[in-house]
């Protein structure tokens, strides 16, 4: 495995300024921060059992916190006045001027996978301003995959252009999904999972939402659904899906930052949304 990703500079369509950076400038910073944070976790993976908190179905690692700090310090050097929001940071987005850039970080998405030594984890960094995502990077060190996109450029993996699949029916689709951390088998996500599994060619749970969406962008999966996901899990990869020709849509804000989210190649989007809405209306979810 080669942990060193491509770091070629992005082409510049808008020169940008210090106070209004271009999307290419933001992508360069996001890539640098994601690579630094991801490499920190990867190089220190023998410390993956250093746990700071455990939950019934989740874990928080010392490396989650350290990698968040690494990412933040890279971003602060370049953009000291930007807001930062992350799974491991205390900053909030409340009252932010929508014109101000806000960075959205998940230093290790797929923490449970990482803690077990599985290679399916990544660092996800997005930046938004003016109400839209400007740039996103999903970097998976153990897979040597670095997914990138800007709002005015293509989606790429290690510099190779991505395009969504052309599957046009759920019955032949590979659908990535996950189950809410607050697992309660009586809740609608389990009912949706049951229906989904029966309706698609295959439903897969990989445990790393950002990479799941990148698989959709790469045409290796056709759609994604999850209930109870957070903005930092889907912000960067959602943009990558869209710039690869697909769709990424938050269906509902479930409170406390939890979202119901779908993404797809576009062709099966309505079919997937209708299936989920039908189960929710039957279960009162
Ligand atoms: C995880 C996701 C995973 C989802 C988990 C969790 P974390 O993120 O990527 O797909 O099913 O509930 O949110 O906590 O490892 O960064």
Q: Tell me, yes or no, whether 2 lies in a domain.
A: no
Q: Tell me, yes or no, whether 230 lies in a domain.
A: yes
Do both 96 and 175 map to the same domain? no
Q: Give the distance (Å) from ligand 1 centre to CA of residue 121.
A: 9
- Mutate which of 54, 110, 193, 237 for ligand 1 pocket (most atoms within 8 A of beta carbon): 110
The pLDDT confidence band at residue 33, using thresholds 50, 70 and 90, is very high
Cα distance between residue 201 and residue 22, in whole Å: 41
Q: Tell me, yes or no, whether 16 lies in a domain.
A: no
Is the per-residue pLDDT at 37 higher than 90? yes
Q: What backbone torsions phi and psi does residue 270 show, to the nearest 5 degrees?
A: -65, -40
Cα distance between residue 56 and residue 240, in whole Å: 32
The pLDDT confidence band at residue 282, using thresholds 50, 70 and 90, is confident
Do both 83 and 212 map to the same domain? no
Lowest mean pLDDT among 45-59, 121-135, 255-269: 45-59
Ligand 1 within 6 A of CB of 110: yes
Given the CA of residue 206, which atom of ligand 1 is nearest to it?
Answer: 10
Do both 146 and 236 map to the same domain? no
Do both 142 and 29 map to the same domain? yes
Is the per-residue pLDDT at 180 higher than 90? no
User: How high is the mean pLDDT of the chain?
Assistant: 90
C-beta of residue 35 within 8 angstroms of C-beta of residue 5: yes
pTM: 0.91
Do both 28 and 157 map to the same domain? yes
Is the per-residue pLDDT at 96 higher than 60? no
Ligand 1 within 6 A of CB of 242: no
Q: Tell me, yes or no, whether 267 lies in a domain.
A: yes
What does the longest C-alpha to C-alpha distance in the chain come to? Answer: 53
Residue range 73-81: average pLDDT?
95
Q: Tell me, yes or no, whether 8 lies in a domain.
A: no
* pLDDT of res. 49: 92
Q: Tell me, yes or no, whether 15 lies in a domain.
A: no
Closest residue by Cα to atom 1, ligand 1, is 110
- Strand runs labelled E in the chain: 51-55, 58-61, 83-86, 102-109, 122-129, 132-140, 145-150, 156-157, 160-161, 174-177, 202-205, 223-230, 247-255, 258-264
* pLDDT of res. 100: 86
* pLDDT of res. 5: 45
Q: In sequence order, what are the beta bridge partners of 177?
A: 205, 225
Cα distance between residue 204 and residue 176, in whole Å: 5
Q: In sequence order, what are the beta bridge partners of 248?
A: 263
Is the per-residue pLDDT at 189 higher than 80? no
Specify the higher pLDDT residue, 123 or 12: 123
78-95 per-position pLDDT tens digit: 999 999 998 877 554 455
Q: Give the distance (Å) from ligand 1 centre to CA of residue 16.
A: 34
Given the CA of residue 230, which atom of ligand 1 is nearest to it?
Answer: 13
C-beta of residue 37 within 8 angstroms of C-beta of residue 140: no
Is the per-residue pLDDT at 283 higher than 70? yes
Cα distance between residue 212 and residue 204, in whole Å: 9
Do both 155 and 204 map to the same domain? no
Q: Tell me, yes or no, whether 3 lies in a domain.
A: no
Do both 115 and 32 map to the same domain? yes
Do both 184 and 143 map to the same domain? no
Do both 115 and 206 map to the same domain? no
DSSP string across 208-240: -HHHHHHHHHTTSSSEEEEEEEEHHHHHHHHHH
Ligand 1 within 6 A of CB of 115: no
Do both 40 and 150 map to the same domain? yes
Residue range 8-16: average pLDDT?
51
Is the per-residue pLDDT at 13 higher than 70? no
What's CA 49's distance to the chain center, in Å?
Answer: 24
Which letter does DSSP use for residue 201 in this model? S
Residue with tokens 């995502």: 133
CA-nearest of 50, 86, 83 to 68 is 86
Q: Tell me, yes or no, whether 17 lies in a domain.
A: no
- Mutate which of 207, 211, 261 for ligand 1 pocket (most atoms within 8 A of beta carbon): 207
| Domain containing residue 212: CATH number | 3.40.190.80
The pLDDT confidence band at residue 191, using thresholds 50, 70 and 90, is confident
Is the per-residue pLDDT at 265 higher than 90? yes
Look up the domain containing 148 and give its range: 23-161
Is the per-residue pLDDT at 2 higher than 60? no
């Amino acid at each position: 495995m080669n942990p060193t990703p491509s770091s070629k500079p992005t082409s510049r369509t808008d020169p940008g300024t210090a106070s209004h950076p271009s999307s290419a400038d933001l992508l360069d910073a996001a890539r640098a921060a994601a690579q630094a944070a991801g490499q920190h976790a990867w190089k220190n993976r023998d410390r993956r059992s250093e746990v700071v908190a455990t939950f019934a179905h989740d874990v928080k690692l010392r490396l989650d916190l350290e990698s968040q700090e690494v990412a933040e310090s890279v971003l602060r050097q370049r953009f000291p006045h930007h807001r930062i929001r992350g799974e491991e940071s205390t900053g909030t987005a409340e009252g932010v001027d929508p014109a101000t850039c806000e960075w959205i970080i998940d230093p290790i998405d797929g923490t449970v996978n990482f803690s077990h030594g599985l290679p399916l984890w990544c660092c996800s960094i997005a930046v938004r301003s003016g109400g839209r995502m400007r740039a996103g990077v999903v970097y998976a060190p153990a897979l040597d995959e670095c997914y990138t996109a800007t709002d005015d450029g293509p989606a790429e993996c290690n510099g190779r252009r991505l395009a969504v699949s052309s599957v046009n029916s759920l019955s032949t689709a590979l659908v990535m999904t996950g189950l809410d951390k607050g697992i309660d088998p009586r809740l609608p996500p389990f009912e949706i999972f049951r229906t989904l599994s029966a309706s698609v060619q295959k439903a897969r749970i990989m445990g790393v939402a950002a990479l799941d969406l990148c698989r959709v962008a790469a045409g290796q999966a056709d759609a994604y659904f999850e209930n109870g996901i957070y903005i930092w899990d889907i912000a960067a990869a959602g943009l990558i899906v869209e710039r690869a020709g697909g769709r990424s849509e938050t269906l509902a804000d479930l409170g406390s930052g939890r979202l119901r989210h779908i993404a797809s190649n576009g062709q099966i989007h309505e079919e997937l949304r209708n299936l989920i809405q039908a189960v929710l209306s039957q279960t009162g979810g």
